[in-house]
Amino acid sequence: MKPVPPLHTHLTPSDWVCRWSRLIPTNTRVLDLACGSGRHMQWLQQLGWQVLGVDRDTASLASAAAFGEVLQADLENQAWPLAGQSFGAIVVTNYLWRALWPDLLAVLQPGGVLIYETFALGNQTVGKPANPDFLLRHGELLELCQGLRIVAYEDGFCETPDRFVQRIVAVNTSVNDKDMPLRYSLDRFNG
């Protein structure tokens, strides 16, 4: 049996990101936070978006640069490098640094989409990360996204490889849109 590559290094994009990227507004800039070697940047670039990938690892960014603009930043030990910028979508997978949430949400444009997927409590029973500082508590993404329109949310166990995850897709609806029955299709994209 062929071993499964580590989640942070292979270039196959997350099924969650693939499924929900169709909600990203057209003609917008996308932020891939903690982008690693650019697996989601590649996917998003192929779909036509301009992508900014941010990561602290310069070797990973060297690969990611093939798919868009990159920025080297230590998000956990330096000031937020994206103040004053805005994005029509933010993609984050396999990364959690709770102190960034206010900054992250501040750069999400009205109508912008947050696509987030990372490890949850329980993961310590099957592998890494095992440190609770890097594992979401049950329902934590729902709490962090209060004020956004939740389109999709999952909290559970995945196989191949075994891991506990939480995932959310949320839209930064403007004040005028809160009473509108907006259509965010839950059908799977087949393109």
Q: What is the mean pLDDT of residues 165-190?
A: 69
Contact between 99 and 134 under an 8 Å Cβ cutoff? The reply is no
CATH fold for the domain made of 15-176: Rossmann fold (3.40.50)
Q: What is the mean pLDDT of residues 88-117?
A: 95
Residue 86 tokens read as 């805005």
Structural domain boundaries in the chain: 15-176
Region 131-141 average pLDDT: 88
Between the alpha carbon of residue 43 and those of residues 8, 22, 108, 164, the distances in Å are: 15, 11, 20, 24
| Distance (Å, whole) CA 146 – CA 29 | 23
Whether residue 169 is predicted with pLDDT greater than 50 in this model: the reply is: yes
SS3 for 47? coil
Tell me the C-alpha distance between 64 and 175, whole Å.
36
Whether the per-residue pLDDT at 7 is higher than 50: the answer is no
Tens of pLDDT, residues 36-77: 999 999 999 999 999 999 999 999 999 999 999 999 999 999
User: What is the sign, positive or negative, of the torsion defined by CA atoms of 83, 68, 96, 113?
Assistant: positive
Closest CA relative to residue 116, chosen from 99, 127, 101, 133? 101
Cα R_g (the chain), whole angstroms: 16
Mean pLDDT rounded to a whole number for the chain: 87
CB within 8 Å of 91: residues ≥ 6 apart: 17, 21, 30, 31, 32, 33, 40, 44, 115, 116
pLDDT digits (tens, 9 = 90+) for 81-100: 999 999 999 999 999 899 99
Which residues make Cβ contacts (< 8 Å) with residue 15, sequence separation at least 6? none
Which residue matches tokens 């507004």? Answer: 25
Length of the chain as a residue count: 191
Give me the helices (H) in 68-127, please.
Answer: 101-106
